[in-house]
Amino acid sequence: MKLTICWTKKGRQCHKEICQRFHISDYMTVNHETPCDIREEDMELLRECERRGFIQIRNK
């Protein structure tokens, strides 16, 4: 599933760990966004990261 992740201030502190867990590139735009392709089985855990305030999931 193609999405764009927007990193919050809290999430930027653990950016590397989240990228490793979900196999996301460590690339980040000037607007703190990362385009990525997430597997369906990882979506529930990614939404939990969003609920905790580490990221914002955007469908661009």
List pLDDT tens digits, range 8-60: 998 888 999 999 999 999 999 999 999 999 999 999 999 999 999 999 999 87
| Residues forming beta bridges with residue 36, ordered by sequence position | 3
CA pair distance 60, 52, nearest whole angstrom = 22
Secondary structure (3-state) at 55: strand
| Residues forming beta bridges with residue 58, ordered by sequence position | 4
The model's pTM is 0.85
List pLDDT tens digits, range 41-53: 999 999 999 999 9
DSSP secondary structure string, 6-32? EE-HHHHTTHHHHHHHHT--S---TTS
